[in-house]
Structure 1
Amino acid sequence: MARITVLGATGFAGGNIAKEAADRGHELTLVSRSVPQDAPAGARVIQGSVLDGDVLAQALDGADVVVGALSPRGDMEGKVADAYADIAGRLAGTPTRFIIIGGFGSLKNEAGERIVNTDAFAPEYKPEALELFAAFERVSATDGVEWTYVSPAGNFGSYVPDQTRRGAYRTGGDTPIVDAEGSSTISGPDFALAVVDEIEAGAHRNEHISFAY
Structure 2
Amino acid sequence: MTPSAPFSVCVYCGSRPGADERYAHAANEIGRLIAERGWRLVYGGGKAGLMGIVANAALAAHGTVLGVIPRLLQDREIGHDGLDELRVVNTMHERKQAMAEASDAFVALPGGIGTLEELFEVWTWRHIGFHRSPVGLLDTAGFYAPLLSFMRHTEAAGFIDARQQAMLHVDSDPARLLDTLHAQAQTGPGPAGSSSGPSGFKTL
Q: Aligned runs of 1:1-213 on 2, under 5 Å?
A: 1-8=6-13, 11-31=24-44, 33=46, 34=48, 35=52, 36-40=55-59, 41-47=63-69, 52-72=92-112, 76=113, 80-91=115-126, 92-93=128-129, 94-102=131-139, 105=142, 129-131=145-147, 133-134=149-150, 141=161, 147-152=167-172, 191-202=173-184
- Kindly tell me: are residues 199 and 42 of structure 1, through their superposed partners in 2, closer, same or farther at Cα, counting changes over 3 Å? same
How big is each residue's C-alpha offset from its partner over 1:153-205, in whole Å with a ceiling of 9 and x where there is no partner?
Answer: xxxxxxxxxxxxxxxxxxxxxxxxxxxxxxxxxxxxxx2221222123339x9
Q: TM-score, normalised by structure 2?
A: 0.51
Shift of residue 86, structure 1, vs aligned partner: 1.8
Mean CA deviation greater in 84-93 or 7-16: 7-16
Shift of residue 25, structure 1, vs aligned partner: 1.0
Report the aligned-residue RMSD. Answer: 4.1
1:95–1:146: 8 Å Cα contact kept in structure 2? no
Paired residues in the alignment total 141
SS state of the match for residue 96, structure 1?
coil
CA distance in 1, matches of 2:147, 2:160: 14
1:31–1:45: 8 Å Cα contact kept in structure 2? yes
Shift of residue 32, structure 1, vs aligned partner: 5.5
State the identity as a percent. Answer: 13
Mean CA deviation greater in 59-68 or 135-144: 135-144
CA distance in 2, matches of 1:144, 1:131: 15
Shift of residue 47, structure 1, vs aligned partner: 4.1
Shift of residue 14, structure 1, vs aligned partner: 3.2
CA distance in 2, matches of 1:2, 1:145: 25
Paired residue type of 2:32: K
- Kindly tell me: are residues 200 and 80 of structure 1, through their superposed partners in 2, closer, same or farther at Cα, counting changes over 3 Å? closer
- Give 5+ residue unaligned stretches, structure 2: 1-5, 18-23, 74-90, 191-204
CA distance in 2, matches of 1:193, 1:4: 13
Structure ranking higher in helix proportion: 2
